[in-house]
Amino acid sequence: MAALAAGVATSMAQNVYSLNIVGYANVQCDTGFHAYSNPFNVGTNGANEVFPAPLSQWNDTQIQEWTGASYNISVFSDDTTVGTTGFVNVNGDTQKPVPILGGGKGFIVNNPNASNNIVFVGTVRTGTNSIVVSGPQVRALGSPLPYAGPIHTLGLTNVAGSLNDVQVFELRHTTPTGGAASGYNISVYSDDTTVGTTGFVNVNGDTAKPEPIIAIGEGFLMLNPNSPFTWTQILNP
């Protein structure tokens, strides 16, 4: 569930008007692993601002940030005898800095607690949002804007085969709503219509696959084996 509301801020001295769109998205966070992305701006986009209060409800929940080779894991903790950032390492004995969950960044959440909801709240990133997808490299990504739908509608369109061979990794679970991670569903961009017309194939390139459908606030991995390209989203209200 997501909603947006527009408000106009006025500077009378300079006769300047700015449109701020405030939104929220209520995203389910069942027990287990989930891939997310923060669809709004809130403060510094620290995890302590992105996740709804009270933060004690997230104790022992892991935020896993992809570094390009492995995951940097930070664990919610309100144990001030270890530190005051609200995050510790997986052993619980060393303070860690607050994870920054900025626009376009995907991350994993491992929730060991009861099912919960993440209510993303903040301002919409209006204007031009540009993300350089380096290659050859794996990136953890998510839509900077609160968009949902087939991945091409998020601005990742295979124009004239420009994204051919780029792989999209969607996190799979042992149950329909969560649980342990069971690998990734991998879809590969392809404009080879002799295989299929969905625009995506399996990793062997011999079977058509459905186009990935990305939910609001969902993160995913992307392997770009080609030269870097820029993913651009524009919203000018």
Alpha helical stretches, state H, 76-230: none
Distance CA 217, CA 143 (A): 7
Residue 7 lies in a domain: no
In a shared domain, residues 133 and 214: yes
In a shared domain, residues 41 and 136: no
Residue 6 lies in a domain: no
Maximum distance among all alpha carbons in the chain? 63
- DSSP, res 161: G
Domain boundary among 114, 147, 176: 114
User: Is 90 exceeded by the pLDDT of residue 176?
Assistant: no
**Nearest partner of 221 among 183, 172, 169, judged by Cα:** 169
| Res. 34 pLDDT band, cuts 50 70 90 | very high
Q: Which residues partner with 73 through β-bridges? A: 64
Domain boundary among 83, 114, 145: 114
In three-state secondary structure terms, 151 is: helix
In a shared domain, residues 104 and 168: no
Task: Give residue 11's pLDDT.
Answer: 34
In a shared domain, residues 96 and 144: no
Distance CA 31, CA 113 (A): 6
| Res. 29 pLDDT band, cuts 50 70 90 | very high
Residue 86 lies in a domain: yes
Residue 181 lies in a domain: yes
Following CA atoms 139, 85, 122, 184 in sequence, which dihedral angle do they give, to the nearest 10 degrees?
Answer: 30
| Res. 49 pLDDT band, cuts 50 70 90 | very high
Distance CA 189, CA 150 (A): 13
Distance CA 212, CA 182 (A): 17
Residue 76 lies in a domain: yes
Distance CA 94, CA 88 (A): 5
Domain hosting residue 230, numbered range: 129-235
Domain boundary among 79, 114, 149: 114
In a shared domain, residues 139 and 103: no
In a shared domain, residues 97 and 42: yes
Q: Which residues partner with 1 through β-bridges? A: none
Asked if 3 and 23 touch (Cβ cutoff 8 Å), the reply is yes
Q: How many domains, the chain?
A: 2
| Res. 215 pLDDT band, cuts 50 70 90 | very high
Q: Per-residue pLDDT tens for 52-71?
A: 999 999 999 999 999 999 99
Distance CA 83, CA 214 (A): 36
Choice among 13-27, 82-96, 190-204, 214-228 with the minimum mean pLDDT: 13-27
In a shared domain, residues 108 and 133: no
Asked if 79 and 88 touch (Cβ cutoff 8 Å), the reply is yes
In a shared domain, residues 148 and 212: yes
In a shared domain, residues 140 and 104: no
Distance CA 125, CA 235 (A): 8
Residue 21 lies in a domain: no
In a shared domain, residues 84 and 168: no
In a shared domain, residues 35 and 109: yes
In a shared domain, residues 143 and 66: no
